[in-house]
Chain A
């Protein structure tokens, strides 16, 4: 028998090696482990929920939300545009505003349209 024939025979034997294989058996405590994992997960949620639902924590969160609302409402009124704002002072404010809010005025595009219309 040549080497190649021996290899072919070995391949056939190997392919048959799973014939009649028995089913592997799971850990007999699988259910206990599953339950432990599920309880751990539920426990974590319950702990979070019970902490959040404590009256002291709930009141503190409520107070914080109200304080933030108050700050958002009253804090912004002081930044209102003054009544005596003139056209000149407005022109002076606009570049600062544009710079602050990253407004990119594409002047070139307007020029292009204007030139195109000419």
Chain B
């Protein structure tokens, strides 16, 4: 089994076998992170492909100052967030178009994303929680996803976000507060 450093060196030389090993070794981690942020399986798969293409093209810029997985998480989260921003822009443009058209009414947000890793008894509740996560600010969403879905410690999250552990603690605390508020609104409307 080749170690990580050797694998990276071989990838820098353009070795396809090394690239294949890297994809196979980290594909679930990348896919799961992206899926947690974009909450759409088809989009997550396309973005995971983008991430690995970026890795292949940019591996020369990886200096080894951080862990390879940290670097990979950074590319994955940035790619996912960029995608969400672009989607939001298109949505806004669509809304402006709808103002001049016929439909301007706001659709009700129905929780519809089911993460494949959630157990059957938690599916419904997790879908409601994902809907609330979707509304979080970018940095809170990233920290929450990395911690809850990828199981990263606050220290690891802080390395990915290039910040301090206390900043991550603060992000997580605010994320939890925001989620509680949103869930309260949701259950006040929908609780039977």
Contacts and interface: CB of A to CB of B under 8 A. Distances in A.
Interface of A: 3, 6-7, 10-11, 13-15, 17-18, 20-27, 30-31, 33-34, 37-38
A30 B20 CA distance: 10
B191 A6 contact: yes
Contacts of A24: 28, 31-32, 35, 44, 115-117
Contact of A14 (B31, B56, B125): B125
Interface of B: 20, 23-24, 27-32, 35, 44-45, 48-49, 52-53, 56, 115-119, 122, 125-126, 128-129, 148-150, 176, 179-180, 183-184, 187-188, 191
Contacts of A14: 125-126, 128-129, 183
A10 B132 CA distance: 14
A30 B191 contact: no
6 contacts: A3-B191, A11-B187, A14-B129, A15-B183, A18-B126, A24-B117
Given A7-B191, A30-B27, A33-B49, A21 B56 contact: no
B156 to A, nearest CB: 15
Contacts of A37: 49, 53
B116 A25 contact: yes
The residue in A13, A21, A31, A38 that gathers the most chain B C-beta atoms within 10 A of its C-beta is: A21
A60 to B, nearest CB: 33
Contacts of A20: 119
A51 B115 CA distance: 47
Contact of A23 (B20, B29, B44, B179): B29
A37 B118 CA distance: 31
A4 to B, nearest CB: 9
Contacts of B29: 23
A21 B49 contact: no
Contact of A7 (B30, B128, B184): B184
A26 B191 contact: no
Contacts of B176: 15
A18 B129 contact: yes
Nearest to A10: B187
Contacts of A6: 191
Contacts of A10: 183, 187, 191
Contact of A18 (B49, B116, B148, B188): B148
Given A10-B191, A21-B117, A34-B23, 13 more contacts: A10-B183, A10-B187, A11-B183, A14-B126, A14-B128, A17-B126, A18-B149, A22-B116, A23-B29, A24-B28, A26-B30, A26-B32, A30-B45
Contacts of A21: 115, 117-118, 126, 148-149
Contact of B49 (A3, A7, A13, A30): A30
B32 A23 contact: yes
Contacts of A31: 20, 23-24, 27
